Each structure stands twice: as C-alpha cells, then as structure tokens.
Amino acid sequence: MTLSEKAAYLKGLMDGMKLDTEKDENRLLAKIVDLLQDMAVSVDDLEDNAIAVSDELDEIEESLDAIDEFLLDEDEDDDDDFEEYDDEDYDLGDDDDFAFDDEMYEVTCPACGEVIAVDEQTILKDSFPCPNCGETLEPEFDEDDEEEPF
C-alpha cells in the first residue's frame, strides 16, 4: 500500500467512527489525518520527480558514453593520419593574424620548379623558404599586382 492509500484508509476509519469534530481531541485527530494526506501527496510527487530525474540522467549517461566512444574511435583513427613535426619548422605568426579565410596564391620556385600554395600572410613576408628544396623565395610585387586591402 502506498502512503496516499494508507492516509486515505486512516481518513476512512476516522469518518467511519463518526467522531464529533467539535471536541478538541477529535478536531486534533482530524487535522493530523489531513496533514498525513498532504504529506503523502507530497512524498508521491517527490518520488515521481526522482524517477523522472533518474530516467533523464540515464539518457544523459548513454549520450555521453556514445560521444566518448565516438571521440575515442576518432582519436585512434587520427593518430595514423598525421606526421609529427616541430613547431619551429612552421611559422604561423601571431594567433590573431591567422585566419581560415585567407586567400591562397600559387608560387613557382625558381630553383626546383615546384608550384606551392601560400597564404596572404606568407606571400607578404620579405622571404620564405620553399617547402620542397629549402630555397629562400623573395616575392616581388608591382604596384598594379597588389590588391587593395579590405
């Protein structure tokens, strides 16, 4: 029997006894039974909420497990795709200067003939090495070739 059912049973017993609620002791007993009914309803609500929260937590845990599994699988696959390199080999400049939407330019190395793609920041430097042969490339611009900045 649930708490609500027990409280209702006590209320029924009291009503069945046909107690005179005008007397102090019977009025007290009636108020105690009313309080028990209110408390039983509150406890039932709390139990329902606890069950709902538990179900929600189970769903969140399953989602997190799936994300964790996906990320672990992805990390294992990615380890084979990348070669290690020293940060000193690549000069990306300041983080504020790096942008993903930089325009790319093709430059042909006069020493090895390799066509390389470089971003705007690199091309605007005084010189930069060819990644194929290491030759120092010094780009030259005519005033007509340069585009206006944004």
Q: What is the pLDDT of residues 118-149, one digit of tens each?
A: 888 887 888 888 888 888 888 776 655 555 44
96 and 71 inside one domain: no
69 and 101 inside one domain: no
pLDDT value of residue 52: 96
70 and 118 inside one domain: no
47 and 72 inside one domain: yes
Per-residue pLDDT tens over the stretch 49-104 = 999 999 999 999 999 999 999 998 876 655 555 555 555 555 555 544 444 455 78
Cα 98 from Cα 121, distance rounded (Å)? 8
11 and 69 inside one domain: yes
92 and 72 inside one domain: no
Q: Which helix (H) or strand (E) holds 108?
A: strand 104-108
15 and 57 inside one domain: yes
Cα 127 from Cα 125, distance rounded (Å)? 5
9 and 51 inside one domain: yes
93 and 55 inside one domain: no
pLDDT value of residue 128: 86
Residue 55 lies in a domain: yes
What is the model's pTM? 0.40
* CB neighbours of residue 98 within 10 Å: 11
Confidence of residue 150 (pLDDT cuts 50, 70, 90): very low
Cα 92 from Cα 98, distance rounded (Å)? 7
Task: Give the domain range for residue 68.
Answer: 3-79
101 and 121 inside one domain: yes
pLDDT value of residue 88: 57
59 and 23 inside one domain: yes
CA of residue 86 relative to chain centroid, distance: 31
Residue 100 lies in a domain: yes
Q: Provide the sign of the torsion angle of the four alpha carbons 28, 33, 38, 40, taken in this order.
A: positive
Domain boundary among 79, 100, 123: 79
69 and 113 inside one domain: no
Residues in the chain: 150
